[in-house]
Amino acid sequence: MEPTAFSYLVVSILMFAIGTMGVLTRRNGIVVFMCVELMLNAVNLSLVTFSKMHDSPDGAMMVFFVMCVAAAEAVVGLAIVIALFRNKQNIEINNFNIFKW
Amino acid sequence: MIQTILFWLFSVLGIAGGLGLVLAKNPVHSALSLIVNFFSIAGLYLTLNAEFLAVIQILVYAGAIMVLFLFVITLLNLSSEPGTTTFDMKKGLAFLVSMGFALEMCYILFGPFGDKSVSGDFTYGKVEPVGKMLMTEFVFPFEMISVILIAALMGAIIVAKSYNYET
């Protein structure tokens, strides 16, 4: 049984669902951030699948730019995590609730 | 035949890495599981003939971003989460929402893509066509990437810098 496009898309969907479950469940801020990176990678996989299916450059180029933007986002997000750690000495996301009424 | 074996190997490894990320108590174990996942996604890119993207995935994601994550985890000296194996309402609801979304997406995508094959040549997996595309059709996003990276660099330094107030 050759892997079809649907096989790759099922892998992408499962990784995205696991990432969503991690974002909703985990309490450590850095692990939540890593689950967001997992979701980004799942979408990258589906983009490459579609690009290969039609043999067009659009999907692969978009993956290239998504990787660069994800790197920039990881840098800024981890700087924010470091700045938050200075105040509260831990990264539990239930502690950062000053916007709650 | 070898395509099927490689696809199953990298898919199972990738999903196992994702599950290890979500279920591990120690954040360092989560980071290492995510590195396993990134390598298996690079393997999946290689089965799709996207060689340039596979190598860029290993260099950027597993080689730079995850090293940065591990630096921050080690710098902040985070401890493991206290293990609660009770399956409370929040975890059950999160599981239902994400698995429901996954099943719905599989059902929707089975119709159009159930029998489309991904075999054949992929001309934009090699370095030279990607380079040509970056310089002709995608030159504006390519230049904007450098602006984004400089903005991220400056933003990270400003946010994470510690200020001494006695000077």
Integer Cα distance of A35 and B121 in angstroms? 32
B26's CB contacts (< 8 A; 6+ apart) are B80
A62's CB contacts (< 8 A; 6+ apart) are A47
Q: Does B145 contact A26 at a Cβ distance shorter than 8 Å?
A: no
Q: C-alpha B133: how far from its chain's center?
A: 24
Q: Please name the residue that has the structure tokens 């990264």.
A: A91
| pLDDT bucket at B84, cuts 50 / 70 / 90 | low
Average pLDDT taken over every residue of chain A: 93
Query: Quick one: residue B147, left, alpha or beta (phi over 0 = left, psi -120 to 50 = alpha)?
Result: alpha
Our CA-based measurement puts residue A11 at a distance from the nearest CA of chain B, in whole angstroms, of 6
Q: Residue B100 in 3-state DSSP?
A: helix
Q: Does A21 contact B98 at a Cβ distance shorter than 8 Å?
A: yes
User: DSSP labels for B115-138?
Assistant: T-B--S--GGGSHHHHHHHHHHTS
Domains of chain A in start order, with CATH, are 5-95 (1.10.287.3510)
C-alpha dist (Å) from residue B13 to A96, B8, B30, B34, B87: 35, 8, 14, 11, 26
Q: Residue A92 in 3-state DSSP?
A: strand
Integer Cα distance of B36 and B15 in angstroms? 10
Contact call for residues B126 and A18 (beta carbons, < 8 A):
no
* pLDDT tens readout for residues A20-44: 999 999 989 999 999 999 999 999 9
Tell which residue, A13, A36, A91, A11, has the closest CA to residue B34: A36
Which residues of B are less than 8 Å from A89 in CB distance? none
Q: Does B21 contact A69 at a Cβ distance shorter than 8 Å?
A: no
pLDDT at A44: 96
* Length, in residues, of chain A: 101
Integer Cα distance of A59 and A36 in angstroms? 20
Integer Cα distance of A96 and B98 in angstroms? 25
Percentage with pLDDT > 90 across chain A: 77
Q: Residue A87 in 3-state DSSP?
A: helix
Helices (H) and strands (E) in chain B, counts: 7, 0
| pLDDT bucket at A61, cuts 50 / 70 / 90 | very high
Which residues of B are less than 8 Å from A67 in CB distance? 56-57, 60-61
| pLDDT bucket at B77, cuts 50 / 70 / 90 | confident
Contact call for residues A24 and B20 (beta carbons, < 8 A):
no
Integer Cα distance of B135 and B140 in angstroms? 9
pLDDT at B107: 94
Query: Which of B81, B95, B114 has its CB closest to that of A6?
Result: B114
Q: Which residue has the higher pLDDT, B68 or B86?
A: B68
* pLDDT tens readout for residues B141-152: 999 999 999 999
- Most A-contacting residue of B53, B90, B95, B154 (CB-CB within 10 A), to test interface: B53
* pLDDT tens readout for residues B91-116: 899 999 999 999 999 999 998 888 88
- The first and second tokens of residue A59, run together, are 């999907």
- Most B-contacting residue of A23, A30, A37, A52 (CB-CB within 10 A), to test interface: A52
Average pLDDT taken over every residue of chain B: 91
- Most A-contacting residue of B7, B103, B122 (CB-CB within 10 A), to test interface: B122
* pLDDT tens readout for residues B3-19: 899 999 999 999 999 99
Q: Does B27 contact A45 at a Cβ distance shorter than 8 Å?
A: no
> Helical H runs in A1-101?
5-25, 29-54, 57-88
Query: Which of B102, B114, B155 has its CB closest to that of A17?
Result: B102
User: Which residues lie across from A92 on neighbouring strands?
Assistant: A28
User: Which residues lie across from A28 on neighbouring strands?
Assistant: A92
| pLDDT bucket at B85, cuts 50 / 70 / 90 | low
